[in-house]
Amino acid sequence: MSVFTRSGAGKLVGAIAVGAVSALLLAGCAGGGGSTTPSESTGPAEDLTLKIGSVLPQTGSLAFLGPPEEAGVLLAVNEVNEAAKGITIDFTPGDSGDADNKAFETTVPKLQNAGVSAMIGAAASGVTKLFLDSNVAAGIITFSPANTSPDFTTWDDDNLYWRTAPSDLLQGEVLANLIAEDGHKNIGIIYQNDAYGTGLYGVVKKVFESTGGSVVAEASYNDGDSSFDAQVATIAAAKPDAVVLITFDQFATIAPLLVNAGQEAKNFYLVDGNLKQWGTQVSVSLEGAKGTTPGPVLEDDFKERLNTAWTDAGNAALEDYSYAAESYDAVVLLALASLASGSTTGKDIAGKLQEVSGGSGDGKKCTSFSECADIIIGGGVADYDGYSGPVTFDENGDPTQASIGIFQFGADNMHTRVDTR
């Protein structure tokens, strides 16, 4: 793995080159994003109005990710509009819900009918899969700040799907290696039976077994299930050293069942879908449990700006910042690509996304919308490095560099970052 630090704006503390993920996990990729050739741009001949919407979890099993993601979008929209660089964003928020309550079935058609060029979302890979083809047919960009399913790398998306979150090929490898480093030899895995859960489960299993460990028990459940006794019984019967829980908010029900069945919570390993500040929402102590989630250490200034934008809009202060940076960067990249193409159509914007991320090479580094916009307006090629990392899209619309945070729970069932890889 290639680990590096970046000075300057200080946005990125550490990152992994996604292309360096173990060859054990990589397969040939086709489809997905699309390559572009760097070209000079003088920006639009007249001011642009870019319509975007969000399809983020205000309700459902990932609702805890809604506030930080929506705050990231809101802050970016505000800052792009305040910069007055020849582009204004007309933003419409919307709820994705989850695969159970299906709020996206109302939100997505509403945004399509409103004439948006891009939608930010969804957070859940399984939800995005349910409306992505519809957006592709409509020529609308789907830009997720949190989708991690490896399936999207090879999706036939006509260059209209992009994400700032890395594939679970990366998170799964980091998590599996962490478990092995902690001395565990035999693990059990409970996972959600959807695109996110099965994808991450497969990577964790393959990498952990490559370290010499064994997956002695595994059990899945479907989104919407409310009883997990059978899954817990399967895991407990195998008496694993540790348990990996690839779930959403079902964790709050499953964790106490596992503890009551004799499993020690200090040997639980969580993932981005359930790594939240649980506090009193879980009835057992999680002290010692660990988890992973994509994303670098965030600057205090950025978190303060997020909170200000969010609370000024009438919301309570943020308790979590998961995928806030990825959401912010998604909006900035869309605005820069629109500016570089001189257009607000989805396909034109998509044709410039790899370029403004630095994925085409030869661009000038910049770390804010305003700075990058000035480069584009001046006829140059901008290479945006964001709060989520350098981004640097490949031809599939995937970021090629990313960070994975490792967190550990204390006695108060609140987690803190203990490492970044």
Dump pLDDT digits (tens) for 244-297: 999 999 999 999 999 999 999 999 999 999 999 999 999 999 999 999 999 999
Residues shown for the chain? 421
In which element (H, E) is residue 248 found? Answer: none
Residue 132's closest CA among 154, 156, 103, 100?
A: 156
Task: Count up the domains in the chain and report the number.
Answer: 2
| Cα 188 to chain centroid, rounded | 25
Could you give the angle at the alpha carbon of 83 between the alpha carbons of 79 and 85, nearest 5°? 130
Query: 1, 16 in Cβ contact below 8 A?
Result: yes
Grade residue 24 by pLDDT with cuts at 50, 70 and 90: very low
What is the mean predicted confidence (pLDDT) over 29-54? 64
Select the more confidently predicted residue: 24 or 206.
206
Q: CA-to-CA distance for 318 and 396, rounded, in angstroms?
A: 32
Q: CA-to-CA distance for 14 and 3, rounded, in angstroms?
A: 6
Grade residue 25 by pLDDT with cuts at 50, 70 and 90: low
Shared domain check, 162 and 46: yes
DSSP-assigned letters across all residues of 103-147: THHHHHHHHHHTT-SEEEE-SSHHHHHHHHHHHHHHT-EEEESS-
What is the mean predicted confidence (pLDDT) over 229-248? 99
Does the pLDDT of residue 32 top 60, yes or no? no
Shared domain check, 158 and 20: yes
Q: CA-to-CA distance for 56 and 74, rounded, in angstroms?
A: 12
Q: What is the mean pLDDT of the chain?
A: 92
Dump pLDDT digits (tens) for 396-409: 999 998 999 999 99
Residue 396's closest CA among 133, 152, 131?
A: 152
Shared domain check, 139 and 107: yes
Shared domain check, 199 and 303: no
Q: Indicate the pTM of the whole model.
A: 0.89
Strand partners, 215: 187
Q: Which domain covers residue 279, as residue numbers?
A: 169-292+406-420
Dump pLDDT digits (tens) for 312-363: 999 999 999 999 999 999 999 999 999 999 999 999 999 999 999 999 998 9
Query: 44, 339 in Cβ contact below 8 A?
Result: yes
Shared domain check, 137 and 118: yes
Shared domain check, 81 and 21: yes
Shared domain check, 43 and 101: yes
Shared domain check, 143 and 24: yes
Residue 316's closest CA among 60, 68, 122, 123?
A: 68
Helix axes 300-312, 66-83, angle to 10 degrees: 90
Does the pLDDT of residue 82 top 50, yes or no? yes
Residue 385 CB coordination number (10 Å): 23
What is the mean predicted confidence (pLDDT) over 374-388? 98
CATH of the domain at 117: 3.40.50.2300
Beta-carbon contacts of 90 under 8 Å, excluding residues fewer than 6 positions away, are: 49, 50, 51, 52
Shared domain check, 161 and 83: yes
- Check residue 182 and give left, alpha or beta (phi > 0: left; psi -120 to 50: alpha): alpha
Q: CA-to-CA distance for 202 and 88, rounded, in angstroms?
A: 42
Q: What is the pLDDT of residue 12?
A: 46
Q: What is the pLDDT of residue 151?
A: 96
Query: 8, 391 in Cβ contact below 8 A?
Result: no
Shared domain check, 248 and 175: yes
Shared domain check, 55 and 159: yes
What does the block give as tokens for 307? 């909170």
Does the pLDDT of residue 48 top 50, yes or no? yes
Shared domain check, 28 and 62: yes
Cα dihedral 76, 78, 82, 88 sign: positive
What does the block give as tokens for 151? 């399936």
What is the mean predicted confidence (pLDDT) over 42-53? 82
Query: 339, 332 in Cβ contact below 8 A?
Result: no
Does the pLDDT of residue 28 top 60, yes or no? no
